[in-house]
Structure 1
Amino acid sequence: MAAYDLEEQEQLSQIKAWWEQYGNLVSGVTLAVALIAAGYQGWHWNQRKQAAEASALYTSVQQAAQAHNGQQAREAAGELISKYSGTVYADLGVLLAAKVQVDAGDAKNARTQLAWAAEKASDPALRDLAKLRLAAVLLDDKAYDEALVQLAKPGEGLEARFADLKGDVLVAQGKTAEAKAAYKQALELTDKTDRQDAKALHDLAQAKLDSLGGAN
């Protein structure tokens, strides 16, 4: 029995010595792990909270669009930009709000919103779509050079639409030869895709090209 007591005492002494040497390190590592875990949980909770709030604001934009309420759509989109600019809800909300402004004839606010989306939307595809829509608004405003700037780098999957709209801008500038080249490019691009909207765009570009005297 005494032997066991001596062994236990020796083990306790070894544990005590080890703890005196490494105890602070173990405590520090344990605390650090706990803080990291708590921080991650807090970050995750905050992300969910922001997503829910951004989603609610996007719903407000949708409701405003259905009611054709340009001011409400603009204000909700503005709040999305100021508070949740890194979310897809902000991207979609601004694009939808801009459409409401266009439908209401408010080109100025539409341009402001589309310019933001064209430059700062988190999704590259939505940035490209915003550039296309902004170019269309600029065309209506007779801001031809600015429209061409937006159309300079076609977005992936939107090349034919970029070319077709570029042709429209060039026609408005009286640059018939360049416009025909743009329409021909749109035709070539639509021939290379099986997208459902390709035929309609092809027929439209062909009609525009024919109105300029055809391919020659």
Structure 2
Amino acid sequence: MAKTPRRAREDDQAPSAPDDLDPAQAALFREVEEDLRAEQMQKLWKRYGGYVIAAAVLVVGIVAGMQGWTAWQASVRADEAERYYAAVRGQGVDRPALDVLAQEGRTGYADLAALQAANALVEAGDEAGAVAAYDALSADGGAPQPMRDLATVLAALHAMDTESAGAVRGRLAPLDTEAGPWRFMARELLAVLALREGDTAAARTAFADLKEAREAPPGVRSRAAEMLSMLGGPAPGEGDGAAPEAEG
């Protein structure tokens, strides 16, 4: 007589109740099953409970640390914003306060303070000091690149009267790229520089290009059009393609 294969139980520790038990037996079976499961959980907790607690404490610590860091950052930003606006509001600019904020600040207000302090030097007539301040901001690796590039443009603008044309071109050359956000202002200053050197043809060509550059800021295009008009329009074969008529 062939033996009936014994079915493998899904869970040796906690078997399922057979279908042929009466209600009382089924209830007893479930009670035993629950006791076995509780015993299993106790064994698992004794073995791994410490790790679970440690992981929970770590998660709570990380969350609390992130929340504390965010709150601290918000507090620092609010404090530096108040210090910045206190230094620039009113009739005069508190340059010493701006200098301190530029040196000690941890947010973008430090860069704004450095830029505003340099602008204050310009207003005070200290062109050399302003150029040095702009150069310092331009060389600050912690400042955003657009802010550094703007400082380079302003340094070149205020160095045109004190530095050689070659030195000013050296400042502006890295900004004169197709992807540079300040390329049009750099090209405008290069055109002015060419005009100062007496190269009227190069200046007219540069101003004509700026006037027609659709991506250029409106202010740059407007100034280029005015300068081009002062120079008698674009050179022959450029811009509108017509040479200015000679006045009789």
TM-score (norm. length: structure 2): 0.69
Equivalent residue, structure 2, for 1:62: 88
- Alignment CA distance shift 1:128-1:142 (3 Å): same
Equivalent residue, structure 2, for 1:52: 78
In structure 1, what is the Cα distance between the partners aligned to 2:110 and 2:230?
36
Question: Comparing both chains, which one has the higher relative contact order based on Cα–Cα distances under 8 Å and sequence gaps of 6 or more?
Answer: 1
Equivalent residue, structure 1, for 2:125: 105
In structure 1, what is the Cα distance between the partners aligned to 2:154 and 2:117?
12
Aligned residues: 206
Equivalent residue, structure 2, for 1:34: 60
Q: Offset of 1:174 from its aligned partner?
A: 4.7
Equivalent residue, structure 2, for 1:206: 228
In structure 2, what is the Cα distance between the partners aligned to 1:195 and 1:207?
19
Equivalent residue, structure 2, for 1:24: 50
Do the aligned partners of 2:137 and 2:151 also contact (CA within 8 Å) in 1?
Answer: yes
Equivalent residue, structure 1, for 2:162: 141
Q: Percent identity?
A: 25
Q: Offset of 1:89 from its aligned partner?
A: 1.7
Is 1:171 the counterpart of 2:192? The answer is no
- Alignment CA distance shift 1:194-1:158 (3 Å): closer
Is 1:128 the counterpart of 2:128? The answer is no
In structure 1, what is the Cα distance between the partners aligned to 2:79 and 2:167?
35
3-state secondary structure, aligned to 1:197:
helix
Equivalent residue, structure 1, for 2:36: 10
In structure 2, what is the Cα distance between the partners aligned to 1:109 and 1:57?
23
In structure 1, what is the Cα distance between the partners aligned to 2:139 and 2:227?
28
Read off the aligned partner of 2:55 and give its amino acid letter.
V
* Runs of 4+ more than 6 Å apart: none
Do the aligned partners of 2:185 and 2:220 also contact (CA within 8 Å) in 1?
Answer: no
Deviations 1:160-214 (A, max 9, x none): 322121122233345555444433433332xx2485424522223314644xx96
Moved more, 163-172 or 178-187: 178-187
TM-score (norm. length: structure 1): 0.77
Do the aligned partners of 2:111 and 2:143 also contact (CA within 8 Å) in 1?
Answer: yes
- Which 5+ residue runs of structure 1 have no aligned equivalent? none
- Which 5+ residue runs of structure 2 have no aligned equivalent? 1-23, 237-248
Do the aligned partners of 1:187 and 1:202 also contact (CA within 8 Å) in 2?
Answer: yes
Q: Offset of 1:7 from its aligned partner?
A: 5.1
> Which residue, 91, 110, 128 being the options, matches 1:90?
110
